[in-house]
Amino acid sequence: MKNFTAVAIKAFLGALGALVLALSTASAEVTPFPRNFRVQDVQVEAATIHVRVGGKGPAVVMLHGFGDTGDMWAPVAAVLANNHTVLVPDLRGMGLSSHPEGGYDKKTQARDIAQVMDKLNIDKAAFVTHDIGNMVGYAFAAQFPARVTRWVLIDAPLPGIGPWDEIIRNPLLWHFNFRGPDVERLVKGRERIYLDRFWNELSANPKAIDETTRRHYAALYARPGAMHSAFNQFAAFTQDANDNKAFAAEGKLGMPILALGADHSFGTHMADDVRFVASDVTAGIITDSGHWIMEEQPKQTTAAIVNFVDKN
């Protein structure tokens, strides 16, 4: 009887511990933006852009890429907001922004950002971008160079620039051409499985992208229309390449640029790539990291961004 009671108590405590762990995981969330940040939805041409705004001082615009949303920038935004007005949108068709059928070429999305800045009375800003955000950032800087004071771009190439044709033949980038109605049917309800592939294969340490983060973004990409819009981001790369070649033909960008590559991803090739379109480029490396720099090395990435943005 005593043995039975001991086993029963042990089983009960084990179940209780598992329940507590499950509840704590379920209630956890990704790093939130500071409480003094406000959120608003800004109407632009043919889309509504979800924006987080906080801080005071010279403006900084932060653009995310695929597999993330503007939520990725919360740790950096909290630091920058001490001395800057920080503007963090979700790109067209991603996160909590609307999902229009078209306009996923990066030239159009750059105009989205310009209209958001106009409506928030921001004339010019430093830019911080990652992944597809780099592509929107370049389209913005090429169209509105006087509005970009300096630019940090992180770990993704620019369509049509430098060794682009070689880069897109890399087997790891098969998803650039993975789209269509049947593909969307395959992924629907399996968004987490699809995104896990990117987080696992493109990171230096998959465990750095924790369960809370994975659930958070998988839920956002499972929203109606989200994966259709995401696939359209990639479908626009051919047009983006043509647009970028036309931008590059007009001359190189002159603002100071920090090209950050992760040592397990694009590394110093980031700066090599950007030098095809810009004249004042500093190379930087995020160590012990794959593509997901904010999830894998948030402190190191934050320091690199803040130091460059605040440089006189």
Q: Which domain holds residue 10?
A: 1-30
For 255, phi then psi, to 5°, come to -70, 155
Whether residue 20 is found in the same domain as residue 81: no
Residues 19 and 143 in one domain: no
Q: Can you give the pLDDT at residue 312?
A: 73
Query: Which residues pair with residue 151 across a beta bridge?
Result: 127, 257
Residue 16 has pLDDT above 50, yes or no: no
For residues 111 and 246, membership in a common domain is answered with yes
pLDDT tens-digit map of 93-108: 999 999 999 999 999 9
Digit-coded pLDDT (tens) for 207-252: 999 999 999 999 999 999 999 999 999 999 999 999 999 999 999 9
Residue-by-residue DSSP string for 177-223 = G--SHHHHHHHTT-HHHHHHHHHHHS-S-GGGS-HHHHHHHHHHHTS
Sign of the dihedral defined by the CA atoms of residues 122, 128, 130, 136, in that order? positive
Q: 22-76: per-residue pLDDT in tens? A: 333 333 579 999 999 999 999 999 999 999 999 999 999 999 999 999 999 999 9
172 and 58, same structural domain?
yes
Measure the CA–CA gap between 287 and 192, rounded to whole angstroms: 27
Given this model, what pLDDT does residue 19 score?
A: 38
Residues 54 and 184 in one domain: yes
Q: Are 100 and 31 in contact (CB under 8 A)?
A: no
Identify the pLDDT of residue 179.
72
Q: What is the mean pLDDT of residues 289-299?
A: 97
Q: Count CB-CB contacts under 10 A for residue 95.
A: 22
Residues 264 and 159 in one domain: yes
| Predicted pLDDT of residue 173 | 76
Whether 15 and 39 map to the same domain: the answer is no
Asked whether the predicted pLDDT for residue 150 surpasses 90, the reply is yes
| Bridge pairing between strands 85-89 and 59-63 | parallel
Do 23 and 41 belong to one domain? no
Burial environment of residue 72 by CB neighbours within 10 A (0 to 12, 13 to 18, 19 or more)? buried
- Radius of gyration of the chain, Cα coordinates, nearest whole angstrom: 21
What does pTM read for this prediction? 0.90
Classify strands 38-44 and 148-154 as parallel, antiparallel or unpaired.
Answer: unpaired
User: Domain check: are 206 and 92 in the same one?
Assistant: yes
Both 294 and 274 in one domain: the answer is: yes
Q: Is the pLDDT of residue 14 over 90?
A: no
pLDDT score at 29: 76
> Based on the domain organization, do 280 and 157 belong to the same domain?
yes
Q: Report how many domains make up the chain.
A: 2
- Residue 188 belongs to domain with CATH number: 3.40.50.1820
212 and 84 both lie in a single domain: yes
Arithmetic mean of pLDDT, 261-276: 97
